[in-house]
Structure 1
Amino acid sequence: MSYPMRWDLDALFRGGSESSEFKQFLGETDAYIQKWIERDQSGLSVQALVPVLETLRARQRHAGAFVSCLVAQNVKDKQAALLNERIQEQSVQAQVLQLSLEDKLRQLSDEEFQALLETEELKPSAFMLETSRSRAQDKLDVEKENLATALAKDGYHAWGTVYNEAVGRMEIPFEEDGETKRLSAGQLHNRLSSTERDVRKRAFEASKAAWSSEGPLFAQTLNHLAGFRLKLYEARGWENVLKEPLDSNLITEATLNTMWETITKNKPKLMPYMEKKAELFGLDTLDFFDVAAPLPVKDGERSTVPYEEACELIITHFKKFSPKMADFAEMALRDGWVEAENRPGKRPGGFCTNFPLAGESRIFMTYDGSMSNVATLAHELGHAYHSWCLKDQNVQSQKQYPMSIAETASTFAEMIVADALVEEADSNSMKTMLLENKLSRSLAFFMNIHARFLFETRFYEERKNGMVPQERLNELMEEAQREAYEEKIASYDPNFWASKLHFHITGQPFYNFPYTFGYLFSLGIYGRALKSEQSFEEAYIALLEDSGSMTAEALAMKHLDVDLTKPDFWQEAIDVVLGDAEEFVKK
């Protein structure tokens, strides 16, 4: 079967950024918003506002997904950038209705609110109403919140746009095949996964030079993003900078702290793995650019997988766990849901975005054949399957799940493929290489992402006292990396705060710990699937179907019977990784 490497966006809106269909769609959304914001808000009931907001959520998610695809596939698409501005403006206007709803909910007594939730038409939106009412208690009055949202478009979100456009323009010189090539940030990043250490080292040095050169601009974008957030938090009376990310991820600080504490306690048990990897590289100690690198390939063994073979491989291994997930993956890969072509002009990284009105998703990445790329493809297909399982839910709010749970489905899919590859390796050296690839991704969740979390937490505390200069950002980043890796690597990347898009995303502060949460949560689910004597497929689907309708703690208690504020579950999940590490060291 043939699997295209370029996605099909015309099936959603024909014509790309010049699409007349899409412009009509945006115009209809504009008209719908105006119809309702021009109404006297005091005269609108909760029952009237809820279906309007559910409709708008679906339309805005659909439009936003399309534009994010346009921008990602061609960072120089100026028309796509303009469309993004228009969508942000619609979001500002729609927020008037959301804040109106929150204000009405805030004014209800507990008894009145409970009676409202019992009405038949609002039952599908009950969880959204509960979270909206809870969040409303800690916000400013409606007029001030509306003003903050309006100012954010050209203040807060604009800095994220500046960062994205600057990264998109970057052309980094890199010596390769006897010539100097000018690579995008995404293409250079792929060189860091090379099996050749010299290539990785040169790519690392080229990357450091490029991001350091752009550092003054990116120090501005990061400081102003954080400054906007902190001023808004201060006005609302929020002292804890984690309040917003915890709320949006639907987890408690107790759960987050328990997770990090359990990881930190177990880090020393991973050091023998890192030492063994250094030994296989012929090194005393790993450098930063070695930590996630694949092991050298022996003569006669390959280090890359052609795209179509990777697609077949993923489908085959999904099927052993879940025929439904395998059928879904085959459809998505066959029908042009994936943009994988390795070409210049694309943004770095990978993502999956959902089109709720079509019941489809689109996956973005740059595939170069590495084992890491195979894992990324499986990861993003896991995201897409999650959305697929929710497509028939009654309302849009039930289809939207927090990032913490989103990363569960993706890493679960990744684990299925990683384990299968290790088990089916046809030589001991290949098995060792694949096992190490699996472990290196685990290490990223435990150490690299922990470093991001430590950096961002400390940066925000310093930013409360004023602008944090580039040099200090570098110091904070290296300090965080040293702590997260427990001083066990030979070099660090002080410019990582500039090169990592996640620090500059405006839609989600602290875009780091949900990855680790989702990874360990998925390991816990995966462990239960392996132990289950019956098919785990339906139980897994049931968990995904509930993911937009309850907190992470409630989801874990209902489907796994575990308390996430206690270390037991986290230790059980980490033990899976420690078992892999012990096996690797023995080889």
Structure 2
Amino acid sequence: MTYSQQWELESIYPGGASSPKLKEEIKQAEQRIAELRELLKQANAASYESLVKQTEIVEEVLATLREADSYTACLMAQNMFDKEAVLLNDRLKNLSAAYTSALTEFDHHLGSIEQKEWVRLLSQPALAVVAYNLNERRELAKKKMAPELESLAADLAIDGYHGWGDFYNTIVSRMTFKLDDDTVLSAGQMSNRLDDQDRSKRLAAFKLWEQGWGEQADLFTDTLNHLSGYRLKWYQNRGWSSYLQEPLQMNRMSEATLKSMWQAVEQGKQLLIPYFERKAKLLGVDKLEWHDVEAPLATASGEQMSYDEAAAFIIEQFSGFSSELAAFAKQAFEKQWIEAEDRQGKRPGGFCTSFPKSKETRIFMTFSGSASNVSTLAHELGHAYHQHVMKDMPPLTQEYAMNVAETASTFAEMIVSDRALQRAVSKEEKLALVEDKIQRAVAFYMNIHARFIFESAFYEKRSEGPLTTEMLNELMVNAQQEAFVDQLSVYHPHFWAAKLHFYLTDVPFYNFPYTFGYLFSAGIYKRALTEGPSFASAYDALLQDTGRLSVEELAQKHLAVDLTQTDFWEEAAALVAEDVELFLELTEQQTK
């Protein structure tokens, strides 16, 4: 079957950024926000009936905003020059600020209810289903500024904090990379050149890549300094002493869990050193360079995989774990929920976004046929399936954190890679597949850790004042050297400029959740292998609880493990040893 590589958005909101349906929903959301504020002013605001109505409005507007935000993100991603979409995005940011302001009042109101009465209210049927989420909001409100100050900060953030985040996309949209043959590529297209199997082409692409980001570095420096400065000042006024307080709270995890995870990762890195040494030898160099790390030594079929082949491959591998997961993936391809076309004008990277009102998802990426592209596609389908199993739940309980979101996506990658490796026949195919698995471990143990080390050091220094481009480059290289245990001879100084994740304003420290998701899913996958097909339903049940439990509670309930201890993490991190051993075995003859 031939699948379209362009997604379908008209069924969500016909008419693009000028959609009459979207404009009407925005208008209704504005009215509902005003209604919520009126309810909060009434004398009986703390009554059961009033609180139920308030919660209904909160969830209704939340779903509308998620739907509209997702749609707008899709428009801007598919065409970075869509000015109407940019204007729509600005309007939605204003609406989000109004909603955040009303939520601040709502949260403050929750905190004002006497504890005994609060417990009684949450025990009632209509509120019991969202009790965890309401209680979470109530407790967090106690750690913030006064409601009027939080509302003011949210309003100022539109053209300040979030404005700088949007400016990053503006800079990237104007960047082009000119090859020797005068071919002009966007950042998204150029990033795919960094995985070329031909080392000379890869090296040339990496030099051009570094040069391109370096030419715009001063703009990125200003942007990052202003974003972080705003964030730190916000924390200071809340009385928060740690820059990790917000990301940990948003990911519903403790610092003890974070520390235990990184401790296990440090041990896991040692298992990867033989892989680095062998790969360098195979490439004829003393040490790998940055662009060598993700470059494949072989491809599974000896050539690039077409989009249709990738789709069939992923669906087949998913079916080995769960018929539900396979059927969902097939539906995503058939209904054109995926934008994968390789063309200019698209933003770089990949993402999955959900439409809670339509109960659908959309996936964005640029597919050029590499093994990395296939992994990305499986990864994003994992995200989409996570949303799929939660689509009929209350909107508040669908608000799962990024770390557990990465669990579902990484789990999907593991299914595809393991099933493919089991059925591989040729030595070349086995080598390509096992190296792809190892590269994911490298990404989560080392690349992501480098981002965490960089951001931690950056925020420490940023609290003393703005940093220069040279200082940022130095911090980045130092972080990469530490994270990669000095296994590379050339690093990526401007990685801090090239990586969108450092500039996102919705999620601070967009790094450690990836490693959490990888290791957490590895532990879950090990459980799935032990329990067999019956685990598929247990897996769905775990995903459904991700929006209403802390990660420690989630792991205790569904896996009976304590995430604040290193045991679970060490077992998960050690799973890469088998892959490295196979890689060494497959490449032994090539080094003689």
TM-score calculated relative to the size of structure 2: 0.96
Question: Take 1:25 and 1:378, find their aligned partners in 2: how far apart are those partners?
Answer: 33
Matched, 1:329 2:306: no
Deviation at 1:292, TM superposition (A): 1.0
Aligned CA-pair RMSD: 1.3
| 1:212 matched to 2:211 | no
The answer to whether the 8 A contact 2:321-2:533 is kept is: no
Within 1, Cα distance between the matches of 2:39 and 2:256? Answer: 42
* More deviation, 158-167/28-37: 28-37
Listed one character per residue, the Cα deviations across residues 450-496 of structure 1 (whole Å, up to 9, x for unaligned) are 00000001100101111111110001000000000111111101100
| Structure-2 separation of matches of 1:297 and 1:217 | 38
Match of 2:589 in 1: none
- How far apart, in 2, do the equivalents of 1:303 and 1:41 lie? 65
Say whether 1:68 aligns with 2:79: no
Matches within 5 A, 1:3-22: 3-22=3-22
Range with greater deviation from structure 2 (366-375 or 268-277): 268-277
Q: Distance in 2 between matches of 1:311 and 1:297?
A: 17
Which residue identity lines up with residue 238 of structure 1 in the other structure? Answer: W
Structure 1 residue 33: Cα displacement:
2.2
**Conserved 8 A contact 1:303-1:371:** no
Provide the residue aligned with 1:407 in structure 2: 406
Q: Tell me if the contact between 1:37 and 1:96 (Cα under 8 Å) persists in the aligned partners.
A: no
Once the two structures are TM-superposed, the CA of residue 39 in structure 1 deviates from its matched residue by 5.5
Structure 2 CA distance for aligned equivalents of residues 4 and 308 of structure 1: 9
TM-superposed CA distance for 1:47, in Å, is: 3.2
The answer as to whether partners of 1:173 and 1:180 remain within 8 angstroms in 2 is yes
When residues 533 and 5 of structure 1 are mapped into structure 2, their CA distance, relative to the original with a 3 A threshold, is closer
1:21 Cα offset (Å): 2.2
Letter in 1 for 2:112: Q
8 Å CA contact 1:33–1:94 kept in 2: the answer is yes
Q: CA deviation at 1:566?
A: 0.7
1:156 equivalent in alignment to 2:161: yes
Distance 2:52 2:392 in 1: 22
Q: CA deviation at 1:296?
A: 4.2
Matched AA of 2:65: Q
Structure 1 window deviating more from structure 2 (17-26 vs 408-417): it is 17-26
Secondary structure at the residue paired with 1:448?
helix
1:87 matched to which residue of 2? 92
Question: Structure 2: how far apart are the matches of 1:557 and 1:120?
Answer: 25
Q: 2:108 pairs with 103, 106, 111, which one?
A: 103
Measured against aligned partners, the alpha-carbon deviations of 1:158-199 in whole angstroms (never above 9, x if no partner) come to 000111111011111122xxx111111111100011111112
How far does residue 225 in structure 1 lie from its aligned partner after superposition?
Answer: 0.5
Report the alpha carbon displacement of residue 297 of structure 1 after superposing the two structures with TM: 5.3
Pick the aligned partner of 1:261 from 263, 270, 283: 263
Map 1:109-124 to 2 at 5 A. Answer: 109-124=114-129
Instruction: Give the match for residue 244 of structure 1.
Output: 246
Q: Secondary structure at the match of 1:180?
A: coil
Q: Counterpart of 1:451?
A: 450
Counterparts in 2 of 1:99 and 1:317: CA distance versus 1, 3 Å: same
Give the aligned partner of residue 344 of structure 2.
344
Q: Distance in 1 between matches of 2:220 and 2:157?
A: 19
Q: State the number of aligned residues.
A: 581
1:386 corresponds to: 386
In the TM superposition, 1:156-555 aligns within 5 A as: 156-175=161-180, 179-296=181-298, 301-393=301-393, 395-555=394-554
Structure 1 residues 533 and 495: alpha-carbon distance in aligned structure 2, compared to 1, 3 A threshold: closer
Q: TM-score with structure 1 length normalisation?
A: 0.97
CA distance in 2, matches of 1:42, 1:438: 58
- Give the 3-state SS of the residue equivalent to 1:305 in structure 2: coil
- Counterpart-to-counterpart distance in 2, 1:26 and 1:539: 38
Distance (Å, rounded) in 2 between the aligned partners of 1:548 and 1:312: 31
Which 10-residue stretch deviates more, 574-583 or 439-448? Answer: 574-583
Partner of 1:578: 577
The structural deviation recorded for 1:24 is: 2.2
Q: Distance in 2 between matches of 1:283 and 1:423?
A: 31
Say if 1:254 and 1:40 are closer, same or farther in 2 by CA, change over 3 A.
closer
* 1:282 Cα deviation after fit: 2.2
Q: CA deviation at 1:270?
A: 1.1
Unaligned runs of 5+ in 1: none
Letter in 2 for 1:16: G
Measure, in 2, the Cα distance between the counterparts of 1:50 and 1:284: 61
Matched residues in 2 for 1:344 and 1:584: separation? 37
What does residue 37 of structure 1 align with? 37
Q: What residue number does 2:83 align with?
A: 78
Give the AA of the match of 2:437. Answer: K
Q: Which runs of 5+ in 2 are unaligned?
A: 587-592
Asked whether the equivalents of residues 163 and 218 of structure 1 are also in contact (C-alpha less than 8 Å), the reply is yes
User: By how many angstroms is 1:271 displaced?
Assistant: 0.1
Alpha-carbon distance change, 130 to 35 in structure 1, aligned in 2, over 3 angstroms: closer
Matched, 1:137 2:136: no
The CA distance in 2 between the partners of 1:297 and 1:87, in whole Å, is 44
Contact 1:340 1:367 in 2 (8 A): yes
Checking the alignment, whether the CA contact within 8 Å between 1:520 and 1:574 is kept in structure 2 is yes
Q: Could you list the per-position Cα deviations for residues 388-447 of structure 1 after superposition, in whole angstroms to 9, with x for gaps in the alignment?
A: 000111x10111210000000000001110112212222112201210011111100000
| 1:363-411 CA distance string (max 9 Å, x none) | 0000000011001101000000000000111x10111210000000000
Alignment deviations for residues 112-170 of structure 1 (CA, whole Å, 9 cap, x no partner): 22112112211111111111012111101111111111111111000001111110111
Write the distance in 1 (CA, Å) between the matches of 2:361 and 2:568: 32
Q: Deviations over 1:37-77 (max 9, x none)?
A: 35663543333321110111111000000000000000000
Corresponding residue for residue 565 of structure 2: 566
Q: Is the contact between residue 168 and residue 347 of structure 1 (CA under 8 Å) also seen in structure 2?
A: yes
Task: Give aligned-pair identity as a percent.
Answer: 46
**For residues 39 and 294 of structure 1, do their structure 2 counterparts lie closer, same or farther at Cα, with a shift above 3 Å needed?**
same
